[in-house]
């Protein structure tokens, strides 16, 4: 047992962080993903790291993807990366290797449709522009549709993004549909765990940004980080980030080894990383003071991204679901 | 990254699970302190005699010489089986013993370690003073060197089980002209020495484990000094490092056991139908799993480097807060049952009241936050 990243995983993290830092500045960077960057991330293999090699993937593990997606969260890389990855995985599991290859190769981008509250028929489409397909994941069924054309968009919560409202009935016949419950649940876990990784990345990034600001901003003749009111907030951010990392690694590991109770671990990681990311994103705004309230600082972007991720994957309901599950023995290991 | 246990680890888990089922004491721990001491030590001796004392302690001092993973497995199975609290064995097994292993002289190790494991010596801690709590370096209990003895005068406080202890890990100021971290010495004090007076203090959970200890010209052989004279701060820090590091292996499983029994209570009492309660319990389950995952990372880090990492302070902050939330939630779930200390939830009420100590014992959460802010994040000091 060695529950720490190995040398290869450390190298993957470092290379990914370097690339993102050079191409996606937190302030003044591209809103979404332009074609050049989309091509770059495709060439880096982000869309199919853990997909089977037969289907055009790299045959790595979900845990390796977690390390990449933690950096994506940290650097606030936008665009339909996760949804396209998930669609590729679904295609591969369905034996549609050609489609999987096109998705992993970045030829088709995939938007995400999520249900609006109080109406099962009204959907919101995210990353709809430039996406040939749209992924919809219900409780018992998941399907890929051709993305409707002539969309009237409205501004998204995240600056520079847009969303589209659409009726479920207007999506037409699915391009690919899967209603096998274990496969649907497995796809949800992949989406959830890689979202947890992004939230853990947000928790870590905001810890670092707030700490850096607390070291440099001087008031009352001292860096504000010398005061316990600020120092203790930073310490709590560090604790949240450490916990968020490890609970995500745990869930990803359990999914990788295919143990029973994978839904339990995934829900636990979702509930925990949701709270950690929100807490840290909010505290990061507060520690930056009035500057943190402006769009000239990056703090607001972490708040908006956290909302987008948590709503898209339904993390707000994770704790309630987890509280109602039967216990799983979490100490067996594998 | 690898969370798998070897076949040998799994066999060990099955073995200890069976042994614990057969051997966990069925008798109730006595309420008087002498009786409780005898009961705790008999249980410690039983573990030692059957080969489960000091799982990760070196073999030459009576330990089993196994790795930290086996220690982790032992603690997990122990907590799941409902093994009794370590009681007055705590300081010897978790502080004094590990400190002697790390910093003690050969003669000190040979004299004390086998007896700690065999349940023949009870140890207590002597760090905090009325004027030195969070500011531990403000210690003023002084020791004067006279020939081959230290002569100690002063007072310690919050010393659990001092009234039944044989030895104490005592931190004293040996250099009267020193201040703060310099001039302190870590010494083994025989609690039966003339001049040692112990007064128990009743705590809010109704127990009187805490004590004040007074020292009037207490003579301690200089051979009892652990490390060098004047180097006591670094010895004390290694002791606290153990408490804040791998010491959480057992605590985190206990939390998991406590939470699952709380969820059973919630089901029994019919409150699990309430979505808000389910949500609260789910958040707690998520945090218990995070606690477990962080513990695994710490054990792995200790196995790689042999030294508890600074992340121990973060785990302590996290653990203390989580323990309090679990016990508070239980009081909400049991409602009016929580007002009856003689009823079926008497144990849980005691655990709830005790949980107020978790953010203080072993260093307050506020001091831990200073440590995280300054030593991990590199924020400036304000002192």
CA distance A5 to A12: 10
Q: Residues B317-330: pLDDT tens digits? A: 999 999 999 999 99
pTM of the model as a whole: 0.94
Give the pLDDT of residue A222. Answer: 96
Q: Does B7 touch chain A if contact means CB atoms closer than 8 Å?
A: no
Catalytic residue among B76, B121, B243, B351: B243
Pair B301, B309: CB distance under 8 Å: yes
CA distance B187 to B227: 9
In B, which residues are within 8 Å of A333 by CB distance? 3-5
Query: Are B278 and A320 in contact (CB < 8 Å)?
Result: yes
The class (CATH top level) of B245-376 is: mainly alpha
Look up residue A260 and give its two tokens: 């029973």
Give the pLDDT of residue A333. Answer: 47
Instruction: Provide the percentage of residues in chain B whose pLDDT is more than 90.
Output: 80
Among B69, B273, B332, B373, the strongest candidate for a mutation testing the A interface, having the largest count of A CBs within 10 A, is B373
CA distance B5 to B10: 6
CA distance A186 to A266: 10
**Of the partner residues B286, B297, B380, the one whose CB lies closest to the CB of residue A3:** B297
Q: Cα A40 to the chain's mean position, in Å?
A: 19
- Give B326 to chain A, closest Cα distance, Å: 13
Query: Are A1 and B275 in contact (CB < 8 Å)?
Result: no
Of A256, A240, A247, A239, nearest to A330 (Cα)?
A: A247
Helix (H) or strand (E) holding B77: helix B68-80
Q: In chain B, what are the domain boundaries?
A: 7-122, 124-231, 245-376
CA distance B283 to A324: 11
Determine the average pLDDT of the residues in B361-378. Answer: 94
Pair A154, A164: CB distance under 8 Å: yes
CA distance B117 to B347: 28
Judged against a pLDDT cut of 50, whether residue B339 lies above it is answered with yes
Look up residue B140 and give its two tokens: 């003023």
Distances (CA, A) of A208 to A299, B255, B376: 11, 30, 11
User: Is B243 one of the catalytic residues?
Assistant: yes
Which chain A residue lies closest to B302 (C-alpha atoms)? A2
Q: Which of residues 283-322 of B touch A (CB under 8 A)?
A: 283, 285-294, 296-297, 299-301, 303-304, 311, 314, 317-318
Pair B297, B249: CB distance under 8 Å: no
What integer best gives the mean pLDDT of chain B?
93
What DSSP character marks residue B218? E
Pair A223, A217: CB distance under 8 Å: yes
Query: Are B379 and A234 in contact (CB < 8 Å)?
Result: yes
Determine the average pLDDT of the residues in B164-170. Answer: 97
Distances (CA, A) of A291 to A74, A248, A299, A305: 20, 31, 9, 19
Pair B193, B149: CB distance under 8 Å: no
Determine the average pLDDT of the residues in B44-67. Answer: 94
CA distance B84 to B227: 33
Please report, in tens digits, the pLDDT of each residue of chain A (334 residues total): 889 999 999 999 999 999 999 999 999 876 678 999 999 999 999 999 999 999 999 999 999 999 999 999 999 999 999 999 999 999 999 999 999 999 999 999 999 999 999 887 899 999 988 899 999 999 999 999 999 887 789 999 999 999 999 999 889 999 999 999 999 999 999 999 999 999 999 999 999 999 999 999 999 999 999 999 999 999 999 999 999 999 999 999 999 988 888 999 999 999 999 999 999 999 999 999 999 999 999 999 999 999 999 999 999 999 999 999 998 875 554 3
Helices and strands counted in chain A (H then E): 10, 9
Helix (H) or strand (E) holding A154: strand A153-155
Task: Report whether CATH 3.40.250.10 matches the domain B7-122.
Answer: no
Pair B81, B20: CB distance under 8 Å: yes
Look up residue A203 and give its two tokens: 């928790």
Which chain A residue lies closest to B279 (C-alpha atoms)? A320
Cβ contacts from A onto B, under 8 A: 192
Domains and CATH numbers, chain A: 7-178 (1.10.540.10), 181-323 (1.20.140.10)
CA distance B10 to A119: 50
What DSSP character marks residue A52? -
Which chain B residue lies closest to A209 (C-alpha atoms)? B377
Query: Are A318 and B286 in contact (CB < 8 Å)?
Result: yes
Q: Residues B111-153: pLDDT tens digits? A: 999 999 999 999 999 999 999 999 999 999 999 999 999 999 9
How would you class B381 by CB atoms within 10 Å of its CB: exposed for 0-12, middle for 13-18, buried for 19 or more?
Answer: exposed
The class (CATH top level) of B124-231 is: mainly beta
Of B288, B67, B111, B61, nearest to A2 (Cα)?
A: B67
Query: Are B290 and A244 in contact (CB < 8 Å)?
Result: yes
* Range from B3-7, B34-38, B249-253, B305-309 that averages highest in pLDDT: B34-38
Q: Within 13 Å, how many C-alpha atoms sit on residue A130's CB side? A: 15
Give the pLDDT of residue B208. Answer: 84
Q: Residues A299-320: pLDDT tens digits? A: 999 999 999 999 999 999 999 9
CA distance B156 to A136: 65
In B, which residues are within 8 Å of A275 by CB distance? 283, 286
State the ipTM, two decimals: 0.96
Give the pLDDT of residue A258. Answer: 85
In A, which residues are within 8 Å of B272 by CB distance? 323-324
Determine the average pLDDT of the residues in B298-312. Answer: 76
Q: Bigger pLDDT: B162 or B311?
A: B162
The pLDDT confidence band at residue B308, using thresholds 50, 70 and 90, is: low
């Amino acid at each position: 047992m060695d529950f720490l990243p190995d040398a290869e995983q450390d190298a993957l993290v470092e290379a990914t962080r370097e690339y993102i830092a050079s191409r996606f500045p937190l302030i003044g960077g591209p809103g979404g993903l332009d074609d050049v960057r989309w091509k770059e991330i495709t060439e880096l293999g982000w869309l199919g790291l853990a997909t089977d090699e037969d289907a055009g993937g790299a045959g790595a593990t979900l845990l390796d993807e977690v390390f990449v997606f933690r950096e994506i969260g940290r650097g606030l890389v936008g665009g339909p990366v996760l949804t396209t990855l998930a669609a590729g995985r679904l295609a591969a599991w369905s034996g549609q290797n050609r489609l999987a290859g096109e998705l992993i190769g970045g030829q088709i981008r995939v938007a995400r449709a999520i249900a609006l509250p109080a109406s099962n028929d009204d959907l919101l489409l995210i990353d709809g522009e430039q996406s040939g397909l749209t992924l919809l994941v219900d409780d018992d069924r998941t399907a890929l549709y051709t993305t409707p054309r002539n969309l009237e968009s409205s501004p998204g919560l995240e600056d520079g993004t847009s969303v589209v409202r659409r009726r479920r009935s207007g999506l037409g016949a699915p391009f690919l549909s899967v209603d096998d419950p274990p496969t649907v649940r497995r796809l949800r876990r992949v989406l959830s765990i890689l979202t947890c990784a992004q939230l853990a990345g947000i928790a870590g990034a905001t810890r670092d940004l707030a700490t850096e600001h607390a070291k440099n901003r001087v008031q009352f003749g001292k860096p504000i980080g010398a005061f316990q009111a600020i120092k203790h907030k930073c310490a709590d951010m560090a604790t949240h980030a450490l916990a968020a990392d490890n609970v995500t690694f745990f869930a990803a590991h359990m999914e990788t080894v295919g143990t029973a109770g994978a839904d339990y671990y995934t829900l636990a990681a979702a509930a925990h990383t949701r709270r950690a990311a929100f807490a840290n994103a909010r505290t990061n705004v507060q520690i930056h003071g009035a500057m943190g309230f402006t769009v000239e600082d990056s703090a607001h972007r972490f708040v908006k991204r956290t909302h987008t991720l948590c709503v898209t994957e339904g993390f707000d309901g994770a704790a309630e679901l987890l509280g109602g599950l039967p216990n799983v023995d979490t100490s067996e290991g594998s | 990254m690898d969370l798998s246990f070897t076949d040998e680890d799994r066999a060990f888990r099955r073995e200890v699970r069976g042994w614990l089922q057969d051997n966990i004491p069925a008798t109730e721990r006595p309420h008087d302190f002498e009786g409780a001491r005898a009961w705790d030590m008999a249980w410690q001796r039983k573990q030692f005699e059957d080969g489960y004392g000091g799982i990760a302690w070196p073999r030459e001092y009576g330990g089993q010489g196994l790795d930290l993973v086996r220690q982790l497995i032992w603690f997990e199975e122990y907590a799941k089986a409902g093994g009794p609290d370590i009681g007055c064995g705590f300081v010897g097994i978790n502080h004094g013993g590990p400190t002697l292993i790390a910093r003690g002289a050969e003669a000190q190790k040979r004299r004390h370690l086998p007896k700690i494991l065999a349940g023949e010596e009870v140890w207590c801690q002597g760090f905090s003073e009325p004027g030195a709590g969070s500011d531990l370096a403000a210690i003023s209990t002084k020791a004067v060197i006279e020939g081959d003895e230290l002569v100690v005068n002063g007072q310690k406080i919050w010393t659990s089980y001092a009234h039944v202890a044989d030895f104490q890990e005592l931190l004293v100021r040996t250099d009267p002209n020193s201040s703060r971290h310099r001039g302190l010495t870590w010494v083994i004090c025989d609690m039966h020495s003339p001049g040692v007076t112990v007064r128990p203090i009743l705590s809010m959970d109704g127990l009187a484990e805490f004590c004040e200890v007074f020292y009037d010209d207490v003579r301690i052989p200089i051979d009892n000094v652990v490390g060098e004279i004047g180097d006591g701060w670094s010895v004390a820090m290694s002791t606290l490092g153990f408490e804040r590091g791998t010491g959480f292996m057992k605590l985190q499983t206990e939390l998991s056991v406590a939470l699952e029994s709380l969820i059973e209570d919630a089901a029994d009492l019919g409150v699990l139908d309430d979505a808000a309660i389910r949500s609260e319990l789910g958040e707690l389950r998520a945090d218990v799993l995070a606690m477990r995952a962080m513990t695994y990372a710490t054990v792995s880090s200790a196995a790689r480097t042999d030294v508890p990492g600074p992340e121990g302070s973060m785990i302590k902050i996290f653990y203390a807060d989580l323990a309090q939330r679990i016990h508070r939630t239980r009081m909400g779930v049991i409602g009016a049952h929580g007002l009856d200390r003689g009823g079926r939830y008497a144990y849980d009420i005691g655990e709830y009241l005790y949980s107020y100590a978790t953010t203080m014992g072993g260093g307050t959460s506020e001091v831990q936050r200073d440590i995280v802010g300054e030593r991990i994040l590199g924020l400036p000091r304000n002192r």
